[in-house]
Each structure stands twice: as C-alpha cells, then as structure tokens.
A and B are shown apart, each in its own frame.
Chain A
Amino acid sequence: MDYRTSETLVGPRSEDALPASAAAAVKIVIVGGFGVGKTTMVGSVSEIRPLTTEETMTQAGVGVDDIAGVERKTETTVAMDFGRISLNEQLVLYLFGTPGQERFWFLWNGLFEGALGAVVLIDTRRLEVSFDVLGRLEERGVPFVVAINAFPGAPVHPVDELRAALDLPDAVPIIDCDARDRGSSRDTLLTLVSYLQHLTTVTPETP
C-alpha cells in the first residue's frame, strides 16, 4: 500500500472545521498530577474529539562532565492533549491538558505564554504532587484556580484546611469539580474567567 495516499485525507473532519470568520484564539492550560483527570476535563468540554500535539524538548543532561566541558543533552518528545471551544464566530478557546511528567510543562516554550490562566486539578489523596506546579505558576505570574476532583474514597478536607495545606492566598478560588461532567468542567472554567475578571478590576494590593 502506498502510504502517501493517506496524506490527502489528513486534516479535520468537515464538521470539525472552524468558521472562516475565526479571527483569534485564546488558551487555558489544565495542569495537575498524574491521572488527576486533565484529559477527561479537556474531553468533556471540547467540541472536537481531543487531539494530541507534541513537542521535542532538549534538556541538558544531569551528568555534566566538567573536565571535558561536554554537556549531555537528551531529547524527549512530550505529548499534550487539547480540545477546542468556539466562543463565538470570531473567538476560539483552546484547552491544553498537560501530560503527567511535570518537569516538562515549563520547558514547553509557548505553552503558558499568552495563556489566559490555568486550572490546577487536585486529587486530595496526593496533594503533594501539586506543590511544585503551584509554585511555578505563581513564579511565572500565571493566574490559576484550584479544582478538587472528587475521586471515590478521596479524603474530604474543609476548604480552609486545603488552602492552608496548599499555602494559597485567600483570593485564589478553590472549587469542587467532576472532570467527567461537562457542566462541572464548564463551571470550573467559568470560575477561572470570573477570577480573571476580578483580577482586572481589583486595585493592586499593598503587601
């Protein structure tokens, strides 16, 4: 079989095409530890079947040879799920669900740059996996909300205990969500957008 024949068919199904009027896009990134429901959330609100994009990252190796001055570099391909929501005839929202390997999220140039904000999905059985990402988002000035994904058997903590455990400022919304549910996932995104609106209207706080 000639593999090239398949190339003519590459691309979106006709029902997945954006209107010709689509003029600009915005993005929101969904982050969180391994298996916390990122892909599920992307899928539950996306208007297209979620797709996978990938990027090749070059990382300086850990074993740096000082004497020879040779740095080992490793190439890794990182795959990222994403979905799409047409907000109106001109504006399109893309949702990116980061893969489980946290150390790559912030190496992906252009993933967080220009993002409206992020949703941090949290599994209360494994709070510690979120510490690093929360710190990095704060460091980069990416606004975020925290969504607690309700897994069966997960411990239920009062919100103020969670806030303390995660060391989050009072202003950062913490909400419950079920990533499998379209309405709940949409509400999580709406919480992020109202928080962003709040940030734009609030006067810069004095520390």
Chain B
Amino acid sequence: MSRTGKGTDEGGPERLYLVDGGPGRSQRADTIELVSLIVARAEPEPGMLPEAAAVLRMCHFPLSVAEISAYLTLPVSTVTVLLADLLAHRQVEARAPVPAAVLPDTELLQAVMHGLQNL
C-alpha cells in the first residue's frame, strides 16, 4: 500500500535513518503510544531536525502520535523515536491514553457513550 497522506515527502532512506537516530534508541519510546496526546513545551530551535521543529510547531494544541505521523508522512515507529528525544529534552509533554485495563471502567464507558450520543 502506498502513502496517501499529504505533507513532507522528501525523506529518502538516509534521511529516515537520521530521524531514527540510528542505534541506541531512547528508552522513553515505550511510554509513547499511538494515541498519546503530544503538546509542545518549547519553541523550535535553529539546528534542530526539521521534523522535530515541525512537531513543536504543530503541537501547539494537543495532537495524537497518529496525527503527527499522518502530517509528517512518517511511520509511527519513526515518529515515536523522534518524540522520545523531544520528551527526554522536555520539549514536549505526552498525555498517556486511558490505561488499558482488562475491561474499561464504567465511568469511562459512560463518558464515551455520552460523547457519541451528542454526535
């Protein structure tokens, strides 16, 4: 399947490798999930990876990892590595998804129900 999103698409393999940071990826990556909400806590700085700067610009308001991946047209795993680095430098904040319990709790389901009913 091909990419269908719109956005930056100049990244060749070398460039993706750069974004991935090569070996020794950050440990923080496992705290970032597909629907973690990311909020910028810093302004882009000169010399930053363009992708990292783009994340800081687009996350002025909360944005999920999935949305960031869509707007950057980069795979989720690549975006996750990028975000882990920004998190480690406190340049972004990550709001974790509602934790996955064995079964979701009644209050959460009630909120989902009400939200959908208001659609």
A22 to B39, CA, bound (A): 10
Q: B66 touching A11 by the CB < 8 A rule?
A: no
The verdict on B97 contacting chain A, using a C-beta distance below 8 Å, is yes
The verdict on A40 contacting chain B, using a C-beta distance below 8 Å, is no
The verdict on B10 contacting chain A, using a C-beta distance below 8 Å, is yes
Contact with B along A1-38 (1 / 0, CB 8 A): 00110111011100001111011111100000000000
B61 / chain A contacts, CB cutoff of 8 Å: 12, 17-20, 22
Q: A201 touching B106 by the CB < 8 A rule?
A: yes
Q: Of B33, B62, B100, B105, which is in contact with the most chain A CB atoms at under 10 Å from its CB?
A: B62
A115 to B102, CA, bound (A): 11
Q: Count A-side interface residues using an 8 Å CB cutoff.
A: 58
A89 to B71, CA, bound (A): 23
How far in angstroms is the closest Cβ of chain B from A116?
6
How far in angstroms is the closest Cβ of chain B from A29?
10
The verdict on A92 contacting chain B, using a C-beta distance below 8 Å, is yes
A25 to B100, CA, bound (A): 11
Please pick, from B4, B33, B63, the residue contacting A52 in the complex, using a CB distance under 8 A: B4
Given contacts A26-B97, A88-B111, A111-B34, contact A55 B119 (CB under 8 A): no
Q: B97 touching A45 by the CB < 8 A rule?
A: no
Q: A196 touching B109 by the CB < 8 A rule?
A: yes
The verdict on B77 contacting chain A, using a C-beta distance below 8 Å, is yes
Q: B100 touching A51 by the CB < 8 A rule?
A: no
Given contacts A78-B1, A92-B37, A114-B97, contact A51 B66 (CB under 8 A): yes
Please pick, from A77, A79, A92, A186, the residue contacting B64 in the complex, using a CB distance under 8 A: A92
Q: Which of A93-101, A126-134, A149-157, A161-169 contacts B (4 or more CB under 8 A)?
A: A93-101
Chain A residue at minimal CB-CB distance from B115: A87
Q: Can you give 12 contacting A-B residue pairs, CB < 8 Å?
A: A3-B8, A7-B53, A10-B8, A12-B63, A20-B62, A23-B37, A26-B35, A52-B5, A92-B35, A96-B34, A114-B97, A186-B119
